[in-house]
Amino acid sequence: MSDPANLQQVLDRISQSAVRDRQVTFGDVIDTVGSRSFGPVLMTIGILLLSPISGIPGVPTLSGLLILFIAVQILVLQEGFWLPAWIMERHLPSDKLLKGIRFLEPAATFIDARLHPRLVLVVRGPGSYLLGGICVAIACAMPLMEIIPFSATAAGFALAVFGLAMISLDGLLALLGMLFTGSVATMILVNVL
Q: What is the pLDDT of residue 71?
A: 80
Show the DSSP H helices in the chain as ranges: 7-17, 26-33, 38-50, 59-75, 85-88, 94-114, 126-141, 151-168, 171-192
The amino acid at residue 45 is I
Nearest-angstrom CA–CA distance, 189 and 191:
5
Sign of CA dihedral 66, 179, 164, 106: positive
Q: What is the reported pTM?
A: 0.81
Q: What is the pLDDT of residue 70?
A: 79
Q: What is the pLDDT of residue 49?
A: 85
CA angle 45, 23, 90 (to 5 degrees): 50
- Which stretches of the chain drop beneath a pLDDT of 70? 1, 19-22, 34-37, 77-80, 149
Q: What is the pLDDT of residue 170?
A: 92
Nearest-angstrom CA–CA distance, 183 and 174:
14
Please check whether residue 130 is in contact with residue 71, taking contact to mean a CB–CB distance below 8 angstroms: no
Q: What is the pLDDT of residues 100-146, one digit of tens each?
A: 788 878 888 888 889 889 999 998 878 888 888 899 999 888 888 87
Q: What is the pLDDT of residue 77?
A: 61
